[in-house]
Structure 1
Amino acid sequence: MVILIDFEVKILDENDLIFVSDLRNLGVQRNVALTLVYLTNVKEASSREIEIGTSLRQPEISLAITFMSEHEWIENKMLKVNKKGRPLKVYSLSVPMEKIYAFYETKAHRDYEESIVKINQLKELVQKENEMN
């Protein structure tokens, strides 16, 4: 006997893809941006639902989940689907998007400061080279 499970999966729409594009412009990896946007639209989702909704492949989702877990942006729980078989792992955002924005804002400031330091080092090298000649 085969039992089919009927479920709905949210598919990212045009506005979601604009959101993804904006995140990408902030330096967010594509797989992380797509997964983040997907999870902002649903209460919780399995890896398979994320795969269908974002058109990402399973390895890309795993990398995104790992990255977000390391930053404590998501939580997961095991959900019993039926009495037999493995429980299903579902993911949900555990922090507001503002905290994630703050992470990337801090990163952008840090990257900017590092760039300025490198530029100043280059200027000093050129200046020393010019003084020697």
Structure 2
Amino acid sequence: MVNKNDERNAEALISLGMNKNAAMALTFLQNMNSVTSVELERGAMLRQPEVSIVMKLLRERDWINEREVKKAGKGRPNKIYSLKVRFNDIIAQLEKQQKKAVDEAMKS
């Protein structure tokens, strides 16, 4: 679950332009080696569709690894997620992106 430090980290990501759900997911992933989508739902306090949307966004930014593990019996395999990029590097990328946007706005 999310503690005060996690909330501060999520707020920092949000202040850098990230949406709340992505910030919560990244903050939760920061503390874990790898998680299933169900663990991510519970730990980041997201619903299943929100997890799918956020993970697609994070995959597009190349910030996470995703793999599938077959479950015993029938059904879809579990998706396992882990950070591909260090949390501090993600913050640095967001800061750079925000600075670039400000610089471009100043030129206009």
Of the three residues 54, 61, 66, the one matched with 2:44 is 54
Flag as ranges the 4+ runs of structure 1 deviating above 6 A: none
Kindly indicate whether residue 72 of structure 2 is the aligned counterpart of residue 82 of structure 1. Answer: yes
Kindly indicate whether residue 79 of structure 2 is the aligned counterpart of residue 96 of structure 1. Answer: no
- SS state at 2:67 partner: strand
Note the C-alpha offset of 1:98. 2.8
User: Which amino acid counterpart does residue 54 of structure 2 have in structure 1?
Assistant: A
- SS state at 1:42 partner: coil
Note the C-alpha offset of 1:83. 4.2
Query: Which structure 2 residues correspond to residues 23-34 of structure 1 after superposition, within 5 A?
Result: 23-34=13-24
| Aligned-partner Cα distance in 2 for 1:28–1:95 | 16
The C-alpha deviation readout for 1:77-111, integer Å capped at 9, x for no partner, is 11233244332111100111232122112211111
Of the three residues 31, 39, 63, the one matched with 1:41 is 31
Q: Which has the higher contact order (CA 8 A, sep 6+)?
A: 2
The C-alpha deviation readout for 1:35-72, integer Å capped at 9, x for no partner, is 00010111111111111112112222112111110111
Question: Percent same amino acid at aligned positions?
Answer: 34
Kindly indicate whether residue 105 of structure 2 is the aligned counterpart of residue 115 of structure 1. Answer: yes
Which structure has the larger Rg over C-alpha atoms?
A: 1
For structure 2, which runs of at least 5 residues remain unmatched after alignment?
Answer: none
- SS state at 2:72 partner: coil
For structure 1, which runs of at least 5 residues remain unmatched after alignment?
Answer: 1-10, 119-133
User: Which amino acid counterpart does residue 94 of structure 2 have in structure 1?
Assistant: Y
Coordinate RMSD, CA, aligned? 1.4
| Aligned-partner Cα distance in 1 for 2:22–2:75 | 29
| Aligned-partner Cα distance in 2 for 1:110–1:78 | 36
Normalising by structure 2, what TM-score?
0.89
